[in-house]
Amino acid sequence: MTSATHPVGSGLTARIRSEERDVDLALTLATGETVAVLGPNGAGKSTLVTALAGLLRPDEASIRLDGTVLAGDGTWLPAHRRGVALLAQDALLFPHLDARENVAFGPRSAGVPRRAAREAAERWLHDLGVADLADRRPSELSGGQAQRVALARALATEPRLLLLDEPMAALDVSVAPEIRRLLRRVLADRTTILVTHDVLDALALADRVVVVEDGRVVEDGPTREVLTRPRSAFGARIAGLDLIAGSMRDGRLVTPDGLAIDGTPSEPLPDGTPTVAVVSPADVAVHLDAPGGSPRNTMSATITHLEPFGDHVLVRTDVADARITLASAAELDLSPGTRVHLVVKATAVALHPARPGAPGAS
Ligand SMILES: Nc1ncnc2c1ncn2[C@@H]1O[C@H](COP(=O)(O)OP(=O)(O)OP(=O)(O)O)[C@@H](O)[C@H]1O
């Protein structure tokens, strides 16, 4: 039900500048693209989304969405005329309306007759798996249920741009995977900006990652590239992870090169699911000879380079990176070109579904 309503156009071009907040951000999105915006507290992420939504008017804004000027050249379209929907951390449903009325509110405000708006609301509630909660008020919903209703309300307005500001942050950790899975389906062909602190959200949902620091964009690139080879301080703090892409076969991740990796799935991953193995380089050991006999993953690799990392060394290879002590690096006499075996316990490997079509995910 999403694709028929998704207009074809040129996507989003935006520049937002606020002197008071010391924010100057420029961003472009192709139609249908999902971009994750990551950054530390106070970086300017909320300023960006509230300005795009039309809720905050910065000193300067130039925003064009699918060929329509939302802001700039003397124009400042009010929030309800932008075709932009914002879903925040808290569902912010109207407490006196039931779920159906909450979802119907958007189409009603856009002039859709009462009955058609109700029908649209029921379709969306059904699509998001909460049709049976249509008569409940927000106080009778769990956090996850309320967030599904809030998402239905956002989508029922048929937005051309969807803004998600930490949509899973207020949810119980046990509910987050389910909502992430739902979002993966819903966002597949939608132009979306997802503000998140969570690397997994970026991996599972985003085509591209933009890192914002001190009110400026400091990184912008494909998700896996930014997360594995961060160039900014914040990028390095949240990422610097080993990400190995493949798809599931017989309960293991198998890479396009045929490497099979055991790990702990974050959710049920049926055969064929595009998957990314996430490993911290600190959990990867380096051996010159293949160790035998233990239930561990062993990967043959060639060292590409070695980087000092405090009292450790980051051993970069063509497969994954390992962080080992200076003493062991010296003992192993490692250098670029050395063939090694990387060893990691299955319990230290998290297997997460990847966005279909993500680079490297087969
Ligand atoms: N209402 C406000 N009035 C003035 N300055 C503000 C206001 N809200 C935020 N700021 C300032 O604007 C800058 C950007 O803040 P913003 O809230 O956009 O960051 P953020 O990346 O969303 O942070 P967080 O992750 O904590 O939500 C910060 O310097 C912040 O102190």
Smallest CA-to-CA distance from 182 within 207, 165, 204, 198 is with: 204
Nearest ligand 1 atom, CA 43: 21
User: What's the 165 CA to ligand 1 centre distance in angstroms?
Assistant: 13
Whether the per-residue pLDDT at 5 is higher than 60: the answer is: no
Dump pLDDT digits (tens) for 81-113. Answer: 999 999 988 878 999 999 999 999 988 987 889
Do 244 and 320 touch, CB atoms closer than 8 A? yes
Average confidence (pLDDT) over 185-190: 89
Q: Which of 18, 21, 89, 214 to mutate to test the pocket of ligand 1 (most atoms within 8 A of CB)?
A: 21
Average confidence (pLDDT) over 173-180: 79
Q: What is the pLDDT of residue 146?
A: 92
| Strands ordered across the beta sheet of 321-325 | 285-287, 339-345, 296-309, 312-317, 321-325
Assigned domain for 361 exists: no
Task: Provide the 3-class DSSP secondary structure of residue 149.
Answer: helix
What confidence category does residue 7 fall into, taking pLDDT thresholds of 50, 70 and 90? very low
The structural domain count of the chain equals: 2
Q: What's the CA gap between 252 and 275, in Å, rounded?
A: 10
Kindly report the average pLDDT of the chain as a whole number.
Answer: 88
What are the tokens at 274? 């595009």
Q: Are residues 58 and 44 in the same domain?
A: yes
| Final residue in a domain of this structure, among 222, 238, 254 | 238
Q: Are residues 160 and 37 in the same domain?
A: yes
Whether the per-residue pLDDT at 170 is higher than 80: the answer is: no
Least confident of 137-146, 208-217, 220-229: 220-229
Q: Are residues 166 and 229 in the same domain?
A: yes
Whether the per-residue pLDDT at 161 is higher than 90: the answer is: yes
Q: What's the CA gap between 56 and 79, in Å, rounded?
A: 9
Residue nearest to atom 12 of ligand 1 (CA): 21
Q: What is the pLDDT of residue 310?
A: 78
Q: What's the CA gap between 157 and 109, in Å, rounded?
A: 9
Measured between alpha carbons, how far apart are the two ends of the chain, in Å? Answer: 26
Average confidence (pLDDT) over 323-344: 91
Do 93 and 146 touch, CB atoms closer than 8 A? yes
Smallest CA-to-CA distance from 182 within 144, 209, 136, 210 is with: 144
Residues with CB under 6 A from ligand 1: 20-21, 23, 39, 41-47
Q: What is the pLDDT of residue 305?
A: 87
Whether the per-residue pLDDT at 172 is higher than 80: the answer is: no
- Of all residues in the chain, what percent carry a pLDDT higher than 90? 56
∠ Cα 318 294 298 (to 5°) = 10
Residue nearest to atom 4 of ligand 1 (CA): 21
Q: How many CA atoms lie within 13 Å of 361's alpha carbon, on the beta-carbon side?
A: 26
Average confidence (pLDDT) over 260-287: 91
User: What's the 47 CA to ligand 1 centre distance in angstroms?
Assistant: 6
Q: Are residues 11 and 149 in the same domain?
A: yes
Nearest ligand 1 atom, CA 197: 25
Q: Cα separations (Å) of 192 from 11, 165, 208, 215, 340?
A: 10, 11, 11, 20, 41
Dump pLDDT digits (tens) for 48-76. Answer: 999 999 999 999 999 999 989 999 988 99
User: What's the 46 CA to ligand 1 centre distance in angstroms?
Assistant: 7
User: What's the 88 CA to ligand 1 centre distance in angstroms?
Assistant: 15
Q: What is the pLDDT of residue 360?
A: 42
Q: Is 252 left (phi over 0), alpha (psi -120 to 50) or beta?
A: beta
User: What's the 223 CA to ligand 1 centre distance in angstroms?
Assistant: 25
Average confidence (pLDDT) over 199-206: 84
Q: Are residues 173 and 228 in the same domain?
A: yes
User: What's the 217 CA to ligand 1 centre distance in angstroms?
Assistant: 15
Q: What is the pLDDT of residue 293?
A: 66
Do 216 and 24 touch, CB atoms closer than 8 A? yes
Average confidence (pLDDT) over 121-130: 93
Q: What's the CA gap between 195 and 228, in Å, rounded?
A: 19
Q: Which domain holds residue 301?
A: 242-353
Q: Are residues 285 and 336 in the same domain?
A: yes
CATH number at residue 305: 2.40.50.100
Whether the per-residue pLDDT at 362 is higher than 50: the answer is: no
Whether the per-residue pLDDT at 224 is higher than 90: the answer is: no
Q: Are residues 348 and 220 in the same domain?
A: no
DSSP-derived secondary structure for 127-146 = HTT-GGGTT--GGGS-HHHH
Q: What b-and-e string marks burial along 133-153, b requiring 16 or more CB atoms within 10 Å of the CB?
A: bbebbbeebeebbbbbbbbbb
Nearest ligand 1 atom, CA 48: 18
What confidence category does residue 359 fall into, taking pLDDT thresholds of 50, 70 and 90? very low
Average confidence (pLDDT) over 157-178: 85
CATH number at residue 193: 3.40.50.300
